[in-house]
A = this chain, B = another copy of it.
Amino acid sequence: MTDVPPVEAPQTGSVRARSVVLVNTGYGKGKSTAAFGLVMRAAARGWNIAVVQFLKSGKWHVGEEDTGRRLGVDWWTIGEGFTWDSKDLSEDEAVAQQAWAHARAVIAAGDHRLVVLDEITYPMNWGWIDPTEVVDAISSRPEHVNVVATGRDAPAVLVGVADTVTEMVKVKHVFDTGVKALRGIDY
């Protein structure tokens, strides 16, 4: 394969987008990590940034959350302020829907130029969040709001509304050899 320079932006682009929708999917490492890298980049530009986590991550992402808060990111951990009074939904579903209600409001408000929907594909695929609602919220967002969504098995409708979709493919992974997760690297 020919080596080519890594400049991933064309010098020839002629259309100026006001914002983009990125999806990081696939079974490899780096989906959320790349989203947090974008947070670093956007923070350098002084943007208002919101992160909404759609899964309880336990110790996972605690590091990003700490650093994100240091950078002024509005970080919304799933289950935050959660009160569960429904008998019609499982607690997991209710929590996911609450996270989505929060995310939808954040996107629509337009106070943040970058909104990260971390691991949103899982509740979408599990039927806890209506994919059509997600796509509608993204499509009708204020034009300066960039959205990044992460998670395995991105639903086709999400891929459809995205400008850029990257699949992270595992070539090899240290965990497969029985090595434990490493603090500072994996969480």
Q: Which of A14, A166, A169, A183 has the most CB of B within 10 A?
A: A166
B165 near A168 (CB under 8 angstroms)?
A: no
Contact between B177 and A15, CB atoms less than 8 A apart: yes
The answer to whether A172 and B180 touch across the interface, beta carbons within 8 angstroms, is no
> How many angstroms from the CA of A152 to the CA of B98 in the assembled complex?
40
Number of copies: 2
> In the complex, are the beta carbons of A166 and B28 less than 8 A apart?
yes
Closest to A23 in B: B171
What 1/0 flags go to A21-62 for Cβ under 8 Å of B? 011111011101111111111111101000000010000101
Q: A35-B37, A36-B36, A40-B40 are in contact. List 17 more A-B contacts (CB 8 A).
A: A6-B151, A12-B178, A13-B180, A14-B180, A17-B174, A19-B185, A26-B169, A29-B34, A33-B41, A37-B37, A41-B184, A42-B184, A114-B185, A162-B172, A166-B169, A166-B170, A168-B169
A interface, CB within 8 angstroms of B: 1, 3-10, 12-17, 19-20, 22-26, 28-30, 32-45, 47, 55, 60, 62-68, 70-71, 113-114, 119, 122, 125-126, 146, 151-153, 159, 162-175, 177-187
